[in-house]
Structure 1
Amino acid sequence: KSVAAQRKHFKLSSTRALEKQPEYLATGSLKLRNYQLDGLNWMVYSWSQDRNVILADEMGLGKTVQCASFIGYLSQTMAIRGPFLVVVPLSTVPNWVREFRRWTPMVNTIVYVGDSRSREVIRAFEFDVEGGGARAAREGGRKYFEVLITTYELILKDAAVLGRINWAYLLVDK
């Protein structure tokens, strides 16, 4: 199913909010706070209504965690395996990667940074541009990325390649 078809089906079949942290999110000591669960529900509802939103909580309240949880929701609940594009300032890349790996370890997340040769290697091993863009599902035993975390500068530098990918969702950090 296309992302649009899944969203339409979701609108018709389910508008119930999550009452507790989804089981697919990392377990153990990691637990969404109530306001983070509210944020996740708001993002899910907004997505189901085909509405673009800005999550503008105060600094330190876990916007990154909420965004990673939302991508986890799309991946695990809605079976949308991406690709998802996360564009962030270079200084925040390590934090985004850490939170995605902590909260949604089942989602194949890659970092797209480095010099042109490094990015060329990433594209050679993680992209399937000739096949219509990045593939997230297993095809021929190979798992392509689901989430690509990169910077504003590299989006501009590699626009010709990244622009050919049919992204399922875009997250942008200030």
Structure 2
Amino acid sequence: MSRPLRFVYRHDAAPAWFDAPQVLALAQRAVQAWSPCGVPASVQALPPRTSPAEGDIQIVWTDTGSRGQFGLANVPARTLSLGPGLFRLLRERNPRYPAEQTLQMVLSHEMGHFYGLMAHSRRCVDVMSYYDDGKGQRCTLRDPSAWGSVVEYRSMLPTACDLARCRALNGP
């Protein structure tokens, strides 16, 4: 990846209850949380009808790009796609659920791939965890016998383990 990383946020097609400054602030919070990794990065809003600069990583809302997920990093295409349809479904099923927490986790996780962390963590608590890969593989809990009996969520921001993996990949 080129350094520094420059993420640009395009608000088109975002669910109505997320406003542009809110999403931009969550993306900036994720970049700030990744900063101890040692890779300089920034996030800026991309004005409507403006093309990104060469090398920019676009954060966009698209069900096609997110492929039925809350988010998907397409590193070669330099896009981080957020899935508006799943966020709508989340709101429909549980209107009181704080969806901005899920959005923070998704942004942090998908940005991690742009920092070079292609492999997911096996620790459930890490933001880079795959949690459940849909093929029978699950992340690791501290107490494996507790699976399903306790609520254990991924961190919304990179953990010390996520940052250590990032530093190991990117050097000093």
Q: TM-score, normalised by structure 1?
A: 0.29
Q: TM-score, normalised by structure 2?
A: 0.29
Richer in helix (by share): 1
Higher RCO (Cα < 8 Å, 6 or more apart): 1
